[in-house]
Amino acid sequence: MEQSDGESLHPPQRWGKQRWFSHIPDEEWNDWRWQLRHRVTTLEELSRFVRVADKERRLMEAVLRDFRMGITPYYLSLIDFSDPKDPIMRQSVPRPEEYLYREVGEEDPLAEEELSPVPGLTHRYPDRVLMVVSNTCAVYCRHCTRKRIMVSKCEDPPADHDVDRMVDYIARTPTVRDVIVSGGDPLTFSTEKLERILSKVRAVPHVEVIRIGSRVPVTMPQRVDDELCAMLEKYHPVWLNVHFNHPRECTPEAVKACSRLLRAGIPLNNQSVLLAGVNDNVETMRELVHNLMRMRVRPYYLFQCDPVRGTEHLRTPVAKGIEIVGGLRGYTSGLGVPSYVIDAPGGGGKVPVSPDYLLYYSEKEGRAVLRNFHGKVIEYHDPLSAEALSRMTMSSLGKPAKSTCEESGKRRWSRRSRPRVPASAASGQS
């Protein structure tokens, strides 16, 4: 792809607004309904901003028959079209690779539909369920796990009776205490429609927590207005999981949207997806988590990109995720280090993956060999057993307390002075 007029610009925040949408009054630009209505959804509309070669166009047209495109003017304004590797464009604009790799991957890699007791609801974990209440997004991410429900051009939400069936299942399942309302994106609904869903869920006595999954604070932050926040406050405890993938998404508009949600008492967790060419290096991820912490958004998960059909060009080796987490641990606040997880194919659930910090452990010996973030190997001992403490107490009776403590301490710390690393653990460090 090439920039439409060939100029070479390095955009600051909202560069695209000034260039492409300078004629749009702020009143309209800041209206989320205007943003949603004016999404770029066709290649013809996209060609206003970037040239697409004929060969690429044919492949991209084939892609759009399988998975729709939609980019809000706001999110499009963050793209530097002079950079063919722009990380915002890579997440939102169809690529020929989506067609070329269309046979690689699965339609439903997480087996959400197999674990669905009623249409639209997934019950994988004992105490929580996922409600998919929308097939509409402000921006359709090219790495989306649920591409399968966004094939047609129709953006109709589930009918009220479908939502009622989901809520009825929750009401009949007392083990469910946590409900995730997702989609698509529930925040693309009107406030009134979203409230109808949340009020039904909150009416179930054993539901303790409602979580909403949304990328709207990233892709259409104008949606987070006072009316929405006032409504959400009525159904606490409500949590919101957001989805920032790159530091350039942390704009003043996104900061304002997150601040409004926080003032409404809604905790924010971020769930990034590890994407090749977007955030697959330590420097980018470190900048992102630092931005999020300043925004009071907790970096929660770093997901391995799911093996969804047509996303092979966006996936990274697992080793890359381990490298990134290893590059964050110890070099930034622990609060800023997300858990790197793989959502196991076939509905196996989230599996945490981390660098090898525990090199060896023997419960019998009461001894562990650890590696810290500098690579230094350290020995750690379990507390003494009750039997050992009893023997120590008995042997101490009748002896001067000072000398006993001194000798005991000398003996114990001399044993710890040189970590004994098993050969298998040591070889893993070479």
Catalytic residues: 124-125, 128, 137, 141, 144, 146, 306, 343, 350
Cβ atoms of 20 and 77 within 8 Å: the answer is yes
Query: What CA–CA distances, in Å, run from 279 to 88, 248, 303?
Result: 10, 11, 12
**Which two structure tokens, joined as six digits, stand for 124?**
């994988």
Q: Which residue has the tokens 């998960």?
A: 301
User: Which three-class secondary structure state does DSSP give residue 221?
Assistant: helix
- CA dist., res. 8 & res. 21, Å (int): 18
- Among residues 82, 80, 94, the alpha carbon closest in space to that of 43 is found at 94
DSSP state of 188: G
- Among residues 62, 162, 78, 70, the alpha carbon closest in space to that of 120 is found at 162
Q: Which residue has the tokens 């690779």?
A: 97
- CA dist., res. 112 & res. 356, Å (int): 31
- CA dist., res. 344 & res. 111, Å (int): 10
- CA dist., res. 101 & res. 241, Å (int): 30
- CA dist., res. 418 & res. 396, Å (int): 27
Q: Helix-strand-coil percent breakdown of the chain, rounded to 5?
A: 40, 15, 45
